[in-house]
Amino acid sequence: MKFRLEHWSYDHPANPWLGGGGAYRDWTLLQAMGSQWETRYVAADFEGRLERGEAWAGTEWVGGVSSPGKARWNWVRGAARRLRSLEESGRLPDLLTTSTSILAPIPGLLRHADRTVFVMHHLVGWNAWRNVGPLAPLCVAYEKALMRRGRHFVVVNRVVEQRIRALQPRARIERIPNGIDASLLGTTRRPEAQPLVVFLGRLDRQMKGLDRLLDSFASLFSRLPGVRLEIAGRGSREDLAWLRARCAEHPAREAIGLRTDISESEKAELLSRAWVFCAPSRFEGWCIAGVEAQACGVPVVASTADGFLDSVRDRETGILVPNDERTIRTALTETLARLLEDDGERSKMGESAREWAGKHTWPALAAQQQAFLESVRSSTDLP
């Protein structure tokens, strides 16, 4: 007998506006489920999907093709309709998992908390104000409702686990970090002759702190004129337009490179040339790209956003600076300069980083998640 498992998420690895590490993780782990599971990934549809020509078998697209501005609303309505249809037909899956997004909520899943595993990559909290303005209180209330009323959780870092337990001590919580492609551990280092700082990931101005990075790089460039910055990843049209404009008017624009829709081979090549990886996120669940950099022997300079407290070993595989809007730009500049100027410390951290990253490969994490989901299914009394 096969059990039906569906994963619901606004994000999807194919989505050029999003396609974040969380979506890649969800897809990878879903594909690794054993043969006793019949799986489906339910995601928001997006403009240009058909033109991309990617099949993504096992995905059901919800909400209809739309622009980024309408996609969240279409997803919320489409997901609610789909859930009602499953309820009315008595065809709910044996188990549901969902990557929670307070900016694209599915509150109806709380009606089925007994069979739903809420995957919480990070907590957004009042950071939602920057995205939705006066609707932020509703988003914060929804996030707290998930933590209070959900029964089963997968989290990627200890801070989220602690906050859920503070609201619901009896919740079943499994902490499963994000993984990396093990082949990156064998990447040969080919560092540039001149200092190179790299950012790789979703090109999200707000979440990933790209404004912080560019402000800091202006000061860093005045201190180390030979330094270069390469920014690579995917993002929404709005974020890419903002980023291109900022780079064009930047005082160190000749020293900044921007690459979009980077391939896996190009990613490995870029990381092999980096001196330091920088990720000044405002909030972060784990940061797969940061661990990928460590797998390539590159130390990380990052904020103290929740995920980095687990994915970077401070002062061993990188350096964390306080996630404080008032001081982080100066702190980033000082920390990057220090690490770029100290070959010995950078080399030592790089060696430790590769060893640390080797503990986070996808097969081991997939086995852990499958065991947890099977335990939830077997211990839950469902029709």
Task: Name the pTM for this structure.
Answer: 0.82
What's the DSSP call for residue 180?
Answer: B
Same domain, 206 and 163: no
Domain that holds residue 263: 182-357
- Quote the CA–CA distance of 123 and 305 in Å, as a whole number: 10
User: Mean pLDDT across the stretch 242-258?
Assistant: 97
User: Mean pLDDT across the stretch 250-261?
Assistant: 95
Give the model confidence (pLDDT) of 102-115 as tens digits: 888 999 999 999 99
What's the DSSP call for residue 6?
Answer: E
Total domains in the chain come to 2
Residue type, 53: G
Same domain, 375 and 337: no
Same domain, 140 and 211: no
Q: Is 51 left (phi over 0), alpha (psi -120 to 50) or beta?
A: alpha
Percent above pLDDT 70 for the chain: 95
User: Mean pLDDT across the stretch 10-27?
Assistant: 83
pLDDT reading at 16 higher than 90: no
Same domain, 154 and 52: yes
DSSP-based three-state secondary structure for 316: coil
Q: Please answer whether residues 121 and 287 qualify as being in contact, where contact means their C-beta atoms are separated by less than 8 angstroms.
A: no
Same domain, 270 and 290: yes
Give the model confidence (pLDDT) of 322-375 as tens digits: 999 999 999 999 999 999 999 999 999 999 999 999 999 898 899 999 999 999
Q: At what angle do helices 21-31 and 362-379 cross, to 10 degrees?
A: 70
- Quote the CA–CA distance of 111 and 33 in Å, as a whole number: 25
User: Mean pLDDT across the stretch 309-328?
Assistant: 97
Same domain, 347 and 369: no
Greater confidence (68 vs 43) lies with 43
Query: What are the strands of the beta sheet with 300-303, ordered from one edge?
Result: 256-260, 228-233, 196-200, 276-279, 300-303, 318-321
Same domain, 166 and 105: yes
- Beta bridge partners, 119, equal 99, 154
User: According to the model, what pLDDT value does residue 4 have?
Assistant: 95
- Quote the CA–CA distance of 97 and 375 in Å, as a whole number: 14
Report residue 112 CA to chain centroid gap.
26
Q: With cut-offs at 50, 70 and 90, classify the pLDDT of residue 209.
A: very high
| Mean of pLDDT over the chain | 92
User: According to the model, what pLDDT value does residue 35 have?
Assistant: 85
Give the model confidence (pLDDT) of 123-135 as tens digits: 888 777 777 788 8
Q: What is the CATH number of the domain that holds 129?
A: 3.40.50.2000
User: Mean pLDDT across the stretch 169-193?
Assistant: 94
- Quote the CA–CA distance of 25 and 152 in Å, as a whole number: 18
Four-point Cα dihedral 162, 124, 210, 260, nearest 10: 100
Tokens of 40: 């489906």
DSSP-based three-state secondary structure for 302: strand
Q: Among residues 155, 132, 149, 97, which one has the least CA distance to residue 306?
A: 155
Lowest pLDDT segment from 51-55, 282-286, 291-295: 51-55
Q: At what angle do helices 264-273 and 288-295 cross, to 10 degrees?
A: 60
- Quote the CA–CA distance of 333 and 8 in Å, as a whole number: 40
pLDDT reading at 92 higher than 90: yes
Q: Are strands 152-155 and 196-200 parallel, antiparallel or unpaired?
A: unpaired
User: According to the model, what pLDDT value does residue 383 have?
Assistant: 54
Same domain, 20 and 131: yes
User: According to the model, what pLDDT value does residue 22 have?
Assistant: 84
Residues 6 or more apart in contact with residue 255 via CB below 8 angstroms: 221, 227, 228, 229
Give the model confidence (pLDDT) of 212-230 as tens digits: 999 999 999 999 999 999 9
User: According to the model, what pLDDT value does residue 264 have?
Assistant: 86
Same domain, 327 and 367: no
Residue whose pair of structure tokens reads 């920390």 in the numeric block: 335
Report the sign of the C-alpha dihedral through residues 198, 200, 203, 204, in that order: negative
pLDDT reading at 53 higher than 70: no
Same domain, 332 and 214: yes
User: According to the model, what pLDDT value does residue 318 have?
Assistant: 98
Q: With cut-offs at 50, 70 and 90, classify the pLDDT of residue 173.
A: very high
Q: Please answer whether residues 163 and 171 qualify as being in contact, where contact means their C-beta atoms are separated by less than 8 angstroms.
A: no
What's the angle, vertex CA 229, arms to CA 228 and CA 231, rounded to 5? Answer: 155
Same domain, 50 and 154: yes
Four-point Cα dihedral 217, 221, 226, 232, nearest 10: 20
- Quote the CA–CA distance of 41 and 5 in Å, as a whole number: 9
Same domain, 81 and 12: yes
